[in-house]
Structure 1
Amino acid sequence: MADADDIAAKTPDEDVRARKARERDELYGLDISGVEWHSAPGTEDHEERVEIAYLPEGAVAMRSSLDPDTVLRYTEAEWQAFVLGARDGEFDLEPASDPGGLPAE
């Protein structure tokens, strides 16, 4: 028969999932209505651009200037992993074969 402690014990994967869910809930529970949004230098207000806002505990929010109501939020660890990956070329796009940015047919 299983011991009560065995039943209550979670696997490491379950612990990680539970922690991630808690972090996500806390992050999306933050009121970000007054945050300051930043975009790349040299972009104009009327131009399409990615904007980020710095949140408590190193977290970051990101949105598109074309859809400012849709905001993605990242923990400090998630954001650091993204930035390091971008610096390392993980997200580099393949060169477009035509000036329109779409692959040639």
Structure 2
Amino acid sequence: MRTLPTAVTAPDLAGANWFTSSYSHNGGECVEAAINLPGAVPIRDTKNVDGPVLMFLPAAWTSFVHGVRQGDFRTV
């Protein structure tokens, strides 16, 4: 089983190209993702770009996005 690093520092993410979803409508309740880093997909809060980052394996992130697009998650 692949694992991600237990700690990631700002320099580790210096090359990340962050983007928000085109569906976010700039409502302030957004997350940003970077999909250009090998082996990991970091996710962060757009309101706290220097704060904590969640790290996902690419396959897990792809599966999550697929589920969202298919409507597998109920809305709140």
Using the size of structure 1 for normalisation, the TM-score is 0.52
Higher relative CO (Cα under 8 Å, sequence separation at least 6) belongs to: 2
> Are the structure 2 counterparts of residues 70 and 27 from structure 1 closer, same or farther at C-alpha, using a change threshold of 3 Å?
closer
Q: Which has the higher helix share?
A: 1
Q: Structure 2: which 5+ runs fail to align?
A: none
1:32 aligns with 2:5: no
CA RMSD of aligned residues (A): 2.9
Instruction: Detail structure 1 runs of 4+ shifted over 6 Å in the superposition.
Output: none
TM-score, normalised with respect to structure 2 = 0.68
Deviation at residue 34 of structure 1 after TM alignment:
2.9
- Aligned residue identity for 1:60: V
**Which consecutive residues of structure 1, in runs of 5 or more, have no partner in the other structure?**
1-18, 95-105
User: Aligned residue pairs: how many?
Assistant: 72
Within-5 A mapping of 1:59-98: 59-68=40-49, 69-94=51-76
